[in-house]
Chains A and B, each alone.
Chain A
Amino acid sequence: MGAVKFYADLRSQPCRAVFIFMKANAIQFELEKVDLFLGEQLQEKFTQVHSIQRVPVIDDDGFVLGESGAIFRYLSRKFNVADHWYPAADLARQARIDEYLHWHHTNIRVNAMMTFRHIYINTVRGKPVKEDEVRRHKSELSKALNHMALYFLKERKFLGGHDISVADIQALCELMQLDAVREEGLYLSNPIVGAWIGRVKAAVQPYLAECEAEGVGMMKQLYETITSSSKL
């Protein structure tokens, strides 16, 4: 049994989440970069691996699997990771994590991702940013963050309870994408979310640092360069 093949671009939020999860659990993997900004996910080579043309994807000894949510559970069970990451026996705790991971797609992910994309892609291409779209997504994100704080977090330390889980890493990576366009204020302005994110970052700091250069760091640098040069 060799290392897990991990098809990813660390500029993608769910790719970072899976990266951090594997690192935190010492799961051996080989990173095969699929450059999203060059459209490599749509090219023949990667399409042969995964016809859905999205990352992250893992190849575990011939078993190919997409979708970070599915990858989390598969790896948790296969590598018998510490239970708190994705509880198996405690029905209620598992349910709460499942609930977050599914609610995440159309609430946190869509709105954070679209806010980022509208600002980043247009700025990098020198095109005007669609302000009304950005406003709409920011407004939706704000509502979602409020629900995250009052329903998922409440007085809990983490989204699933008193221990960190895959739900926290998924949310962390999605929200940190906003840092690349200097919009971290969107999530930091909610004190409950701000405190929670500090806890998650502290828990996975070394692994977060490892994906900084190829991930948020890379995009932030380009964005800062373009926006500062346009002020000259």
Chain B
Amino acid sequence: MALKYYFDLMSQPSRAVYIFLKANKINFEPKPIALRKGEHLTEEYKRVNPWMKVPTLEDNGFILTESVAILRYLSQKYKLPEHWYPHSDLQKQARIDEYLHWQHLNTRLQAAMVFQHKLLIPVAKNEKINEKKVQRFKAELPKVIAHIETYFLRDQKFIGGEDISVADLLAACELMQLFPVFEEDVYESNLKIKAWMERVRTTLNPYFDEGHAITYRTRDSYKKIGPSLGAKL
């Protein structure tokens, strides 16, 4: 098959591209890479992506990393409906680009670090959760959520306007990383954001749920693991 997709559904950007491929019925050969087993560190994967991260797209030998670049590449290559990643409306495109650049050190950084410190790091180090570190990143999230609401969403249904875009997809996947560690209140307490997340999920289902299967299972496991690490659920 021409398109090979290397991913791990534990990874937020991996989920976003996976859901996107499925929702747009793009044929691809799935190449799951289990991060927890260190499969991204093998010589074999290093030959595909020397930076050793997921996701990676391989299109007939053309290797592409970075979820945002992959999403744009796919949108244009398969001439997908404009709303995903507008190119004829300059201002709409710009607003979506703005979110996609802003999110790295805002939505992604903070939400990912909360998840890391509430699960991955304590498990890896065989230690209890470092609450100070969790709070440090959690403290940044209300501002991030407020910006998503008032600057990016404004009074629209989605970040791009009336229709869903890659910005909404990526934002939702990043915020969902809080769900398995019982921190969804961070975004659900903002009713507009809660409604928007539901809208994204409804619009993209069944693929949204399919892409989040591991996320949902992790939440179930966390009911036991969390308290053993010192988390209060």
Contact = CB atoms under 8 A, between A and B. Distances in A.
B98 A65 contact: yes
Interface in B38-95: 50-51, 62, 64-70, 72-73, 76-77, 90-91, 93-95
Contact of A105 (B50, B105, B147, B151): B105
B101 A102 contact: yes
Interface stretch (A24-32, A37-45, A91-99, A174-182): A91-99
Contacts of B51: 103, 147, 151
Interface string A77-108: 11000000000000110111011011101100
A186 interface: no
A124 interface: no
A217 interface: no
Contacts of A99: 64-66, 69
A63 B105 CA distance: 24
A184 interface: no
B104 interface: yes
Contact of B101 (A51, A69, A94): A69
A70 interface: yes
Interface residues of A, number: 31
Contacts of A96: 64, 69
Contacts of B104: 102, 105-106
Contacts of A52: 102, 147, 151
Interface majority SS (helix, strand, loop, mixed), chain B: helix
B100 A91 contact: no
Nearest to B147: A52
Given A63-B91, A78-B90, A70 B101 contact: yes
A48 B98 CA distance: 18
B109 A147 contact: no
Contacts of B77: 91
Contacts of A91: 73, 76-77
B97 interface: yes
B190 to A, nearest CB: 16
A91 B73 CA distance: 7
Interface in A47-84: 51-52, 63, 65-71, 73-74, 77-78
Contacts of A69: 97, 100-101
Nearest to A143: B51
Contact of B69 (A66, A98, A109, A147): A98
A222 interface: no
A70 B94 contact: yes
B126 interface: no
A98 B151 CA distance: 23
A73 B89 CA distance: 12
B66 A74 contact: no
B110 to A, nearest CB: 12
Interface in B96-120: 97-98, 100-102, 104-105, 109
Interface of B: 50-51, 62, 64-70, 72-73, 76-77, 90-91, 93-95, 97-98, 100-102, 104-105, 109, 147, 150-151
Given A66-B98, A74-B93, 7 more contacts: A52-B147, A67-B102, A74-B91, A74-B94, A96-B64, A105-B105, A106-B104
Interface of A: 51-52, 63, 65-71, 73-74, 77-78, 91-92, 94-96, 98-99, 101-103, 105-106, 109-110, 147, 150-151
10 contacts: A51-B147, A63-B94, A65-B98, A66-B98, A67-B97, A67-B98, A69-B101, A77-B90, A91-B73, A102-B101
